[in-house]
């Protein structure tokens, strides 16, 4: 067996499920299938990575036969064409369940390259075929349990997405209401951590403000107050230019000249 410690296997599963959750962006109808694909890819990548070339040259036909015998009907292995540019059979397609497939192809003379979905590739040589088959059989034997886990994750993610959508709607409504009340034109973009709001102060000047989501309501009031003061100040015929602190500014030249003094002994 590729790993005898069941606790270690569970630890690996917990890790890949957590990472898969952050990568799957599919809708509800495709979420479970895509979650499983990414989980299988990560599982195999965890077990088979950074491999050196083996001593035995790759033999696709012989290795496919070995795999078929090892899988014993649980999993289907077939010689096939892998990749867009290949015209002759250069790899093996392993079908676990419906659309859940693992593709391995000849990477070089003595090494296989495997993939389930992009960016989670893995490598193994002919000496590792038994371990590879054991890993695939383990996945096949536990696929329904993994699918149940995927369903549970999907429900949690859909709930989180709905809550995030509601939060976003509330934020949009709040910003729009406050800006209209203050009489400002604005454009904005944001994510779960920060809002960036560009406010038209006058016809010639704008101000860009960055608000953290954890205290957005409080800071929204502050930036509107600041924008109002700037608008009134400029409309009274005054001018203002705001610059970020720079070590190259004359105002900060002393700091620039002496900032390394503590190292000069």
Domain ranges of the chain: 6-154, 183-258
Angle ∠(143,147,151) on CA atoms, nearest 5? 175
Residue 152 pLDDT: 96
Residue 104 pLDDT: 93
Q: For every residue of 53-68, which 3-state class applies, written as one string? A: CCCCCCCHHHHHHHHH
Task: Assess contact for 222 and 212: CB atoms under 8 A.
Answer: no
Q: Is 138 left (phi over 0), alpha (psi -120 to 50) or beta?
A: alpha
Residue 135 pLDDT: 94
Residue 250 pLDDT: 56
Partners of 210 in the β-ladder: 196
Chunked mean pLDDT (size 10), the chain, 265 residues: 79 93 92 95 88 82 95 94 84 91 90 84 90 94 95 95 89 92 90 86 86 86 92 87 58 53 52
Residue 261 pLDDT: 55
């Amino acid at each position: 067996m590729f790993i005898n410690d069941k606790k270690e296997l569970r630890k690996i599963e917990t890790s890949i499920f957590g990472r898969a959750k952050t990568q799957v962006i599919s809708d509800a109808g495709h979420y479970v299938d895509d979650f499983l694909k990414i989980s299988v890819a990560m599982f195999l990548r965890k077990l088979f990575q950074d491999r050196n070339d083996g001593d035995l040259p790759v033999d696709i036909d012989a290795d496919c036969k070995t795999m078929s015998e090892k899988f014993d009907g649980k999993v289907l292995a077939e010689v096939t064409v892998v990749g867009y540019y290949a015209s002759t059979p250069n790899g093996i397609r392993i079908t676990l369940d419906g659309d859940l497939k693992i593709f391995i192809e000849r990477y070089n003379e003595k090494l296989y390259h495997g993939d389930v979905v992009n960016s989670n590739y893995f490598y193994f040589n002919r000496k590792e075929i038994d371990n590879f088959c054991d890993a695939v059989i383990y996945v096949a034997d536990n696929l329904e349990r993994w699918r149940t886990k995927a369903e549970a994750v999907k429900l949690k993610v859909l709930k989180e997405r709905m809550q995030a959508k509601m939060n976003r709607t509330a934020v949009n409504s709040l910003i729009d209401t406050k800006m209209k009340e203050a009489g400002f034109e604005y454009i904005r973009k944001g994510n779960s951590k920060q809002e960036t709001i560009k406010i038209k102060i006058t016809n010639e000047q704008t101000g860009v403000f960055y608000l953290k989501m954890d205290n957005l309501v409080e800071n929204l009031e502050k930036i509107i107050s600041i924008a109002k003061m700037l608008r009134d100040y400029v409309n009274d015929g005054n001018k203002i230019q705001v610059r970020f602190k720079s070590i190259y500014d004359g105002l900060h030249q002393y700091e620039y000249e002496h900032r390394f003094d503590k190292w000069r002994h």
